[in-house]
Structure 1
Amino acid sequence: MQFREIIGQESIKQRLIQTIAENRVSHAQLFLSCDGSGALLLAIAYAQYINCLDKSASDSCGVCSSCRKYERYIHPDLHFSYPFFASKDVKIATDVLDEWRTMLLSDPYFDLDIWRSRLNAENKQANINIAECHDIIKKLSYKAFEAETKVLIMWLPEFLDKEGNALLKIIEEPPKNTLFILVGNNQEQILSTLLSRTQIVKIPKLADTIIERYLMEQHGLPEEEATTYTFLADGNMVEAKQLVAHTQNDHAERFAEWLRMGYGNRVPDLISFTEQAASWGRENQKNFLKYGISFLRECSLLLSGADELVKLPERTLDTAKKLSTHVLNLNMAAALIEELEKAHYHIERNANPKILFLDVSLQLVKTIKFKSLPKGTQYIYN
């Protein structure tokens, strides 16, 4: 993985390269970011650059023996650790190393849900167990096989329970020329004893312009559609790719019409909508609810007078402004968001979509009725 293959994050790339040029590479680092930012890819590219035999001022060469092995994730001095789903056949992370490499090679932008699906994990709990910690200590106690620096990249250290304390000594006093890179999403869920021993590198979400340009150039989307997907993805490239693969791009009108039904207390139409929504499939149902949550949050910004922070496309922005002026208030928006978030949670856990969307539709009517603007307010929507 070369830096040039990673989408966006130019300032972080330069910062990482500079630490190597100035010989300021901390032996234990935590790349902290949200899903879909490319943090794991940056960690791999960073390790490849460190061990490249013919690096330039801006990237690894990509052709030396070290780079060729890094490109296929088979370098003997590159080690990975990650959450897995223990079973009688899977005791440590290397037991599913082939699946890990296959996933990285097919599409390096992924999240835990995608990783779970690769392993057919069903309802098992992911973790990084004590056996994995002992295996890490064992691997890193050996001398480097051919590279100058041994590297361990741990994805999602949040899944280290208290057993992770077994790694503290080797992280604090590592063998010579050993680099630890932890790649996490949630600082609060990482052991404080690990945090205190790492240098934190905060990696921002991808800029909307970066994702929008990627969708237009790599997926051939028209600008308006790319803008909508970018809004929904909110800096997450994994989400953006899933939207392209699964989403039917009419969420804006669908959600607006759903609100119309709720405002007008059109129960027969709401029942018909429920039947339709139940047939979409789980991914489209989740994305529809996520769109509604994002849309209502943008409306909340308008209601709070923070118009400059709103990221809605122009056509949808006009609808949001009308809603915020004539229908919504902050209490109503907050209540609707809460209902949609609960629905999204239950859809992820395979709730019956027909029952769920009917319940949410009725809650929509109830919320609009009891948290609406003062009586007599005119409803102007189109």
Structure 2
Amino acid sequence: MQFSSIVGQGEIKQRLINTVKENRVSHAQLFLGPEGSGSLALAIAYAQYVSCEDKSDHDSCGVCASCRKYQKLVHPDLHFSYPFFAKHKDDTALSFIEQWRDAIIKHPYLSLDIWRGYLDAENKQANINIAECHQIIKKLSFKPFESAYKILILWLPEYLDKTGNALLKIIEEPQPNTLFLLVAQNQDQILNTILSRTQLVKIPCLNDNEVKQYLINEHHQTEHAAAEIAFLSDGNLTEALAMLNNDESSYHDYFLKWLRMCFSNKGLEIVDFVDVLAKLGRENQKNFMRYGISYIRECCMLLAGAGNLVHLPAKELDTAQKMISVMSLPMAAAISELLEKAHYHVERNANPKILFLDVSLQIVKILKFKTIPQGTHYIPN
């Protein structure tokens, strides 16, 4: 993977290149960026640049023996560690290396949910176990085979529990020419003992224009469609790519149908609709929640008198203007908070029927009975 194939992040790319040109490569670095920012892709491109036999001032060559192996993720001095679902206590990341290579090549902006799909273990808990930590220590105890550096890319160190402390010594005092690249999304969930031993590389989310231009140039979207997806994805390219495979208009129709049922307090219809939502699958459920959050956010803008900041197609804008006639700004904000919590719980494998029925009943209280949750109580609006 080359820097040129990664969307945006020009400043980060140049900073990484400069560390190699100026011989300032830190042996343990933490690439910290939100999902869809390209942090994993940047780590792989950086590793390829470090190992390239004919690197330029701007990128790896892409054609030398080292680069060709990196493009297939089969270089003998490139190692990966990542969360997986151990069937046996001795399982390590190597047990899933073929799935990993396939996932990265097809999805450079990989998310944990996409990775779960490759493991056929959607509802199981991922982690990096003690056997994997011992395997890392063993692999990195050898000298490099072909390149100047032996490189380990550890994706999502948040999934290292206390067994991750087994890696402290090798991170702090590695073999010569050993490079650790940790790729994380949540700094607060990383062991402090590991965090303190790494150099931080902060990677920002992409801006809307970068996502829009990528969708236009690489996925042949119209400017209008690309702008809508870029806005809804909020700088998350992983989410933007997922939206390409889903019909946003169907989310709009589903979401409005749901709100109307809640407003009318149609209990039996709500139960039937919840059954439909529960069968969508987790990714579609998350996308549905994201759409709802974005739509209600636009309603909040209209209610606050900031219609000039609203980004909605004509059809959706028309329904939003009708929707705000039956809700106040506090009501819209309360619904948005409910949807954000629901999205959080979907990500963490909550029972979808129970979750969506509970959210529906709370929306009924807000829309039908004009009561807004305050702590554990509902206060009339």
- Cα offset, 1:115, TM superposition: 1.1
Q: Does the CA contact (< 8 Å) of 1:36 and 1:239 recur in 2?
A: yes
Report whether the alignment pairs 1:274 with 2:258: no
TM-score normalised per structure 2: 0.85
| Equivalent position amino acid for 2:208 in 1 | D
Q: Higher mean Cα deviation, 272-281 or 357-366?
A: 272-281
Partner of 2:45: 45
Q: Higher mean Cα deviation, 185-194 or 339-348?
A: 339-348
Report whether the alignment pairs 1:246 with 2:246: yes
| Equivalent position amino acid for 1:210 in 2 | E
SS in 1 for 2:151: strand
- Cα offset, 1:307, TM superposition: 7.3
Q: Does the CA contact (< 8 Å) of 1:99 and 1:118 recur in 2?
A: yes
Q: Higher mean Cα deviation, 161-170 or 40-49?
A: 161-170
Partner of 1:380: none
SS in 2 for 1:366: helix
SS in 1 for 2:140: helix
SS in 1 for 2:249: coil
Q: Does the CA contact (< 8 Å) of 1:216 and 1:222 recur in 2?
A: yes
- How far apart, in 1, do the equivalents of 2:49 and 2:346 lie? 42
Partner of 1:128: 128
> Superposition pairs for residues 252-271 of structure 1, below 5 Å?
252=252, 254-256=254-256, 258-260=258-260, 262-263=262-263, 265=264, 267=266, 271=270
| Equivalent position amino acid for 2:176 in 1 | K
- How far apart, in 1, do the equivalents of 2:34 and 2:41 lie? 13
Partner of 1:54: 54
| Equivalent position amino acid for 1:267 in 2 | K
Partner of 1:365: 364
| Equivalent position amino acid for 1:333 in 2 | A
Report whether the alignment pairs 1:99 with 2:99: yes
Partner of 1:233: 233
Q: Does the CA contact (< 8 Å) of 1:37 and 1:204 recur in 2?
A: yes
- How far apart, in 1, do the equivalents of 2:307 and 2:175 lie? 53
Report whether the alignment pairs 1:190 with 2:183: no
SS in 1 for 2:221: coil
- How big is each residue's C-alpha offset from its partner over 1:230-282, in whole Å with a ceiling of 9 and x where there is no partner? 2332211221121111334343455345445544x263895598289549833
Q: Does the CA contact (< 8 Å) of 1:258 and 1:270 recur in 2?
A: no
SS in 2 for 1:20: helix
Partner of 1:65: 65
- How far apart, in 1, do the equivalents of 2:285 and 2:105 lie? 29
- How big is each residue's C-alpha offset from its partner over 1:317-370, in whole Å with a ceiling of 9 and x where there is no partner? 67656755x4444431232124334544565647465x7656544432311222
| Equivalent position amino acid for 2:296 in 1 | L
SS in 2 for 1:182: strand
The alpha-carbon distance between structure 1 residues 174 and 346, as it changes in their structure 2 partners (threshold 3 A), is closer
> Superposition pairs for residues 1-382 of structure 1, below 5 Å?
1-88=1-88, 91-252=91-252, 254-256=254-256, 258-260=258-260, 262-263=262-263, 265=264, 267=266, 271=270, 274=273, 277-278=276-277, 281-282=280-281, 283-300=283-300, 310=309, 312-313=311-312, 315=314, 316=316, 320=320, 326-344=325-343, 349=349, 351=351, 360-368=359-367, 369-371=369-371
Q: CA RMSD in A?
A: 3.0
Q: Does the CA contact (< 8 Å) of 1:231 and 1:311 recur in 2?
A: no
Q: Higher mean Cα deviation, 154-163 or 238-247?
A: 238-247
The alpha-carbon distance between structure 1 residues 222 and 257, as it changes in their structure 2 partners (threshold 3 A), is farther
- Cα offset, 1:26, TM superposition: 1.2
- How far apart, in 2, do the equivalents of 1:224 and 1:87 lie? 46
| Equivalent position amino acid for 1:43 in 2 | A
Q: Does the CA contact (< 8 Å) of 2:301 and 2:310 recur in 1?
A: no
| Equivalent position amino acid for 2:365 in 1 | K
Q: Higher mean Cα deviation, 287-296 or 143-152?
A: 287-296
**Unaligned ranges ≥5, structure 1:** 378-382
The alpha-carbon distance between structure 1 residues 358 and 199, as it changes in their structure 2 partners (threshold 3 A), is closer
**Unaligned ranges ≥5, structure 2:** 373-380
Q: Does the CA contact (< 8 Å) of 1:31 and 1:181 recur in 2?
A: yes
Q: Higher mean Cα deviation, 148-157 or 171-180?
A: 171-180
Number of aligned residue pairs: give it. 369
Q: Does the CA contact (< 8 Å) of 2:278 and 2:352 recur in 1?
A: no
- How big is each residue's C-alpha offset from its partner over 1:158-188, in whole Å with a ceiling of 9 and x where there is no partner? 0111111111111111111111110000000
The alpha-carbon distance between structure 1 residues 13 and 270, as it changes in their structure 2 partners (threshold 3 A), is same
The alpha-carbon distance between structure 1 residues 184 and 174, as it changes in their structure 2 partners (threshold 3 A), is same
Q: Higher mean Cα deviation, 231-240 or 182-191?
A: 231-240
TM-score normalised per structure 1: 0.85
- How far apart, in 2, do the equivalents of 1:254 and 1:338 lie? 19
Q: Does the CA contact (< 8 Å) of 1:3 and 1:42 recur in 2?
A: yes
SS in 1 for 2:29: strand
- How far apart, in 1, do the equivalents of 2:8 and 2:20 lie? 20
Q: Does the CA contact (< 8 Å) of 1:29 and 1:198 recur in 2?
A: yes
The alpha-carbon distance between structure 1 residues 225 and 17, as it changes in their structure 2 partners (threshold 3 A), is same
| Equivalent position amino acid for 1:25 in 2 | V
Q: Does the CA contact (< 8 Å) of 2:261 and 2:270 recur in 1?
A: no
- How big is each residue's C-alpha offset from its partner over 1:73-116, in whole Å with a ceiling of 9 and x where there is no partner? 11111111111111238611112111111212222222111111
